Amino acid sequence: MALEVAKFLDQLINGISLGAIYALIAIGYTMVYGIIGMINFAHGDIYMIGAFLSVIGILVLGLAGASWAPLGLLMVLVMAMAITGVYGWAVERLAYRPLRNSFRLAPLISAIGMSIFLQNFVQIAQGARNKAIPPIIQGKLTLMDLPGYSVSLSYVQILILVTTVALMAGFTYMIARTPLGRAQRACEQDRTMAALLGINVDRTIATTFVIGAALAAVAGMLITLRIGVIDFYIGFVAGVKAFTAAVLGGIGSLPGAVLGGLLIGLIEAFFSGYFSTAYKDVAAFVVLVLVLIFRPSGLLGRPEIEKV
Amino acid sequence: MLPVLETGLGSFIGLTLCLFGLGAYLAGQGLAHGWRPAWQAAVTGFGLALFDRFLQWGLFDGVLLSVGGYLAAGAILASIALFAHRLTLSAKMVRQYPWAYEAAGPLAWREKRAAATLGLDRRPEETSLARISQSQGGVKMNKIIAALVVVVALVGAYFYFGQKPAAPPAPATTEAAPPPAAPAAGDIVIAMGGPLTGEYAAFGEQMKRGAEQAVADINAAGGIGGRMLKIEVGDDACDPKQAVSVANDFANKGVVFVAGHFCSSSSIPASAVYAEHNILEITPASTNPKLTEDAAAKGWTNVFRTCGRDDLQGPTAARYIAKYFAGKKVAVLNDKSTYGAGLAEETRKALVGLGITPVLDEAYTQGDKDFSALVAKLKGEAVDVVYIGGYHTEAGLINRQARDAGLAAVLISGDALNTAEFWSITGAAGEGFLFTFAPDPRNLPTAKDVVAKFSAAGYDPEGYTLYTYAAVQVFAAAVAATGSTEEAKLAAYLRANAFDTVVGNLAFDAKGDVKGTGYVMYEWSNGAYKEKADQ
């Protein structure tokens, strides 16, 4: 009995720490969708760039002989967020703004082009090989210690959870209470009216892309710390999963993105744990299809009201 | 028996209820969204029943013209559609006219009292406004998203469950080959095909180094009967589709011999192209038995390999497990690739033959990074030995995450671990990881000179480097002896003779496999691997 509880707890921890990464990426999708009503298909690759920048930063600091890990990692994080933010801004400037008043599919397609470009750019600039870093944050808390089975929570997993919760709280506050958040909500409702009332729509949208990219960089850094091995292709799978999470939770809703991310992570972990690892992704997508059939606007999304 | 159940409960639930039932539900929902009347939902249900009957007939041997079956299926589908229509309509009425209506259960709505007195109780579908909304037929973003998700999920699943998830759409590399690659008169054009990009690029590099060194050495010694070798390099990224296009590219360039490919899933489809164009293929690395078995079964003579086969490799690992871990719990994992799944299956069969039944048989996906759930499952089964049929990247990550989670089991894998890149992934966690590979050719006296050349160039000829070198040597020896580059003559000569190569004396059997190869167990320790002393 205790063993079953331990196994359950172990998969719960695995699922949550996997889901938290999806959630961080999903927030980026959902914020951009919220403000311009379009999916940023280059977001997965922005995340990949964040991960590469983290690896480069960590290796450079390691070469420079940085000794105190927390400060070093913080520096790397700030650097990665800043540079990835510039990439996010560039995606908006190049792929979205010129096409904002075009037909709806145009920016979507240019974003897919952007995604292919970023992938190939990193493949050429950084090489196609796996990039690995040694584990930096080691150590763990042992939660349950049964004979032959121990459940532990590693410091990296704690870091992932704390970061995700803190960022979600921060951004929910930002959208609800700050001038930037008010401007974002105004742009979401009616861009023309917002502009008439003195809101700089272009800047608000660009800021949203930059924030989304910075969050993706955080996710990239966390995955680097947790897994330690990245390649130029990680953005594709993570992007699809996070997009799924955003849609599952209700695209446009910030808590929905986090809920969706955690759900996808948990479904994957529990399905691999109790049924079959080979079909964990099938399970996640089946849940998505079912949710979309019965709740087309996602779990926490607001249904679109057609006013007559 | 009920007429709908004539083809069995399974096909009724799967086809009529799940597939067409969901279709009917969506249809009812959609009709309600467009303010269409309920009878249309019923008609749709009976319409769908026609297709249901057709599929029951076509797929499950049902009766095509069965009135009872049709009516029963139609009734079920129509009620599902009506239910969905009603459910959606009530939700819509309450949500869109909150001042006039309130919910009375999930399937009904009623007028609000206050609203009734204000005269706002007209049913909106009777108003002209409702008709306007209907004619607008606004495309709902939700629907677009739903469709997009399905498309993205399918495309994602295709790449994700395909042979090579991380395959970049890189074009076939044609290094040092200006487009009109017309060979100088007398030059013999050969090729090396393997993954130069993607997760397994490390192996492609081994093969490229080996082939290029062999060509350089042969040319330095005056070529083959005065004719120089010229090498083309193709990148298949370990992707079957790309391997075929690389193979076609080689054929167009007049290549007569290919040293490649690396992944079994690339070598097998490429071998069909080579057979068609009469090109000799000697792979230094693809170990799946199907490669030569299928070729022999189809009567192709052009496929050879300088490495062993998984039906030798798997049993080697199994015997090792039986000897050193008797009575322990064993798990077998594979990565669903041709190579990984084939090797894991051979090992599992051999284990069962030795009286060891694996407690866990699992598959993971190539390109995955997070194996924590799988590791927790291994921990839960308290396994002592884990056999992994797969490549070094995933095996390395499983190793690293297993040690992080406190799983102390011994990990064993196959020949795809013989690259230094494995250690860069695992770090110290890789200590004690075992894998099977042929006896290390670097230690052979025949390889001494070549190894010295590589070392002088600052490269350690690990893994498949020398096997690729040997493949080129075998080809050169056959051309020198037959004086021809025709596939039929070369293949016949290869089967009839033995060749002195850097990896020792090689002879091929009728299928093109090397005679008398063996596998031994290696162990990773402190960043390097070496043969285990006690086997």
pLDDT of residue B16: 87
Q: Give the CA angle between residues B250, B335, B407 to the nearest 5°.
A: 140
pLDDT of residue A304: 65
Contact A305 B157 (CB under 8 A): no
**Ranges of residues in chain B whose predicted pLDDT is under 70:** 1-6, 114-185
Write out pLDDT tens, residues B153-167.
555 555 444 444 344
Q: Which of B125, B161, B362, B377 to mutate to test the interface with A (most CBs of A within 10 A)?
A: B377
Distances (CA, A) of A72 to A59, A64, A195, B52: 11, 11, 42, 63
- From the number of C-beta atoms within 10 Å of its C-beta (0-12, 13-18, 19+), residue B296 rates as middle
pLDDT of residue A265: 95
Kindly report the backbone phi and psi dihedral angles of residue B411, in degrees, each rounded to the nearest multiple of 5, phi listed first: -105, 135
Contact A10 B400 (CB under 8 A): no
Candidates 1.10.3470, 2.60.40, 1.10.287, 3.30.420; CATH matching A2-133+145-294? 1.10.3470
Measured between CB atoms, does B379 come within 8 Å of chain A?
yes
Distance from CA of B485 to the nearest CA of A (A): 35
Chain B residues in contact with A273 by the CB 8 A cut-off are 373, 376-377, 380
Residues 111-130 on A with a CB inside 8 Å of B are: 119-120, 123, 127-130
Chain A residues in contact with B424 by the CB 8 A cut-off are 130, 132
Dihedral-angle region of residue A112 (phi above 0 means left; psi in -120 to 50 means alpha; beta otherwise): alpha
Measured between CB atoms, does A102 come within 8 Å of chain B?
no
Most distant CA pair in chain A: distance in Å? 68
Q: Which residue's structure tokens are 């969901």?
A: B22
- The domains of chain A are located at 2-133+145-294
Q: Which residue's structure tokens are 């082009």?
A: A113
Measured between CB atoms, does A148 come within 8 Å of chain B?
yes
The Cα B388–Cα B463 span in angstroms is 18
| Per-residue burial over B58-71, b = 16 or more CB atoms within 10 Å of its CB, e = otherwise | eeeebeeebeebbe
Averaged pLDDT score across all residues of chain A: 89
Chain B residues in contact with A132 by the CB 8 A cut-off are 424-425, 427
Going by C-alpha positions, the residue among A109, A44, A105, A108 that lies closest to residue A240 is A44
| 3-state class (DSSP) for residue B191 | strand
Helical (H) or strand (E) element with B78: helix B67-96
Distance from CA of B277 to the nearest CA of A (A): 31
Measured between CB atoms, does B196 come within 8 Å of chain A?
yes
Contact A233 B129 (CB under 8 A): no
Measured between CB atoms, does A240 come within 8 Å of chain B?
yes
The encoded tokens of residue A165 equal 């919760």
Contact residues for A85 (Cβ-Cβ < 8 A; gap 6+): A210, A211, A213, A214, A217
pLDDT of residue B243: 94
| Per-residue burial over B120-144, b = 16 or more CB atoms within 10 Å of its CB, e = otherwise | eeeebbeeeeeeebeeeeeeebbee
Distance from CA of B258 to the nearest CA of A (A): 23
Write out pLDDT tens, residues A232-273.
888 988 999 999 999 999 888 888 999 999 999 999 999 998
What sign does the dihedral A153-A46-B201-B420 (CA atoms) show?
Answer: negative
What is the torsion angle, in degrees rounded to the nearest 10, for the CA atoms of residue A133, residue A137, residue A139 and residue A143? -110
Residue of B nearest to A147 (CA): B382
* Long-range contacts (CB closer than 8 Å, 24 or more residues apart) made by A56-61: A58/A133, A58/A136, A58/A224, A59/A133
Contact A278 B373 (CB under 8 A): no
Measured between CB atoms, does B145 come within 8 Å of chain A?
yes
- Per-residue confidence at A308, pLDDT binned at 50, 70, 90? low
Measured between CB atoms, does B384 come within 8 Å of chain A?
no
Contact B96 A130 (CB under 8 A): no
The encoded tokens of residue B291 equal 């490669």
Chain A residues in contact with B130 by the CB 8 A cut-off are 308
Instruction: Compute the 3-state secondary structure of chain A and give helix, strand, coil in percent, each to the nearest 5.
Output: 75, 5, 20
A131: β partners? A230
Would you tell me how many other CB atoms lie within 10 Å of the CB of residue B412?
25
Going by C-alpha positions, the residue among B412, B392, B435 that lies closest to residue B531 is B435
Distance from CA of B4 to the nearest CA of A (A): 25
Average pLDDT rounded to a whole number, residues A183-212: 92
Write out pLDDT tens, residues B227-239.
899 999 999 989 9
Cβ-contact B391, B416 below 8 angstroms = yes
The Cα B187–Cα B183 span in angstroms is 6
The encoded tokens of residue A32 equal 């951009």
Contact B362 A278 (CB under 8 A): yes
Distance from CA of B125 to the nearest CA of A (A): 10
The encoded tokens of residue A51 equal 């991960």
Q: Is the pTM of this model over 0.95?
A: no
pLDDT of residue B330: 94
Measured between CB atoms, does B26 come within 8 Å of chain A?
yes
